[in-house]
Amino acid sequence: MTQAIALIGYGAIGRAVHRLLLTHGAGQAEVVAVLARDRARLLEQSPEVESLLVDSHAELVARRPVLVVECAGHQAVDDHAVATFKAGTDLLLVSVGALAEAAREQSLVAAARAAGRRLILPSGAICGIDWLAAARTAGLARVTYRSRKPPQAWAGSAAEQQVDLASLTTATTFFRGSAREAALMYPRNANVAATVALATLGFDRTQVELMADPGAEGNVHEIEAEGEGGSMATRLVGRPDPDNPRTSVMTAHSVVRCILNQTATVLL
């Protein structure tokens, strides 16, 4: 049975998810609706999606998707997440950092529970989430996540008030703090920090370091964790998405894997 999928947002991630589903999801998942902010610009860039475009969330859910995939940022979460649950549909949240705001997280979880629906979080650009989540039940003592990206990936963020990104010649750490602080201060860059926190010690106990590195060849993600189940140290160099250097190419692939897992016979 083919899943009907709706996309909220059609930027770098939404567009990549759609294309990957066309290639890898035949017979398993099909995009039936796309809700995007700038319809005219989207049609100019991707005229092939015209038949999928809708003008409102009500029109989107009227196409009866079994899963809505949010990939449009925190405002889209506020505008559409609760309504998605009330419409009887599961929600896959790409903007995981939105859950760093406690009131928003509580509202979404309560709405999903009341509707008997699920809030699904992909692992995104990071590796090791299964081990980390399992280690939480074994007992975790410490988790630190470090993000090292080229300076241009931090353009337009609060990092510009901390360092002169354009003149950096060496790797510079501009933030140390909790995952909650990181996700709230850097909402367009810290989805991975939020994912690690939710899998492990929570937003307030998971530590985060953010770095701008002119020598970085990609988006570098490092995790260190210690607990009763053992210790873990990972370093992943993700290739930045050519359309959005803040995110990694693998983010869309992770979302597609999550979508296809919803109906998989063998689930990994």
Beta-bridge partner residues of 14? none
CB 119 within 8 A of CB 93: yes
Dihedral sign, Cα of residue 9, residue 12, residue 16, residue 19: positive
Residue in 18, 74, 221, 253 annotated catalytic: 221
Sorted by sequence, the CB contacts under 8 Å of residue 213 that are 6+ apart come out as 148, 149, 150, 151, 168, 170, 171, 172, 220
Helices (H), the chain: 12-24, 39-45, 57-62, 74-86, 102-115, 129-138, 179-185, 191-199, 249-261
Catalytic residue status for 221 = yes
Residues that are catalytic:
221
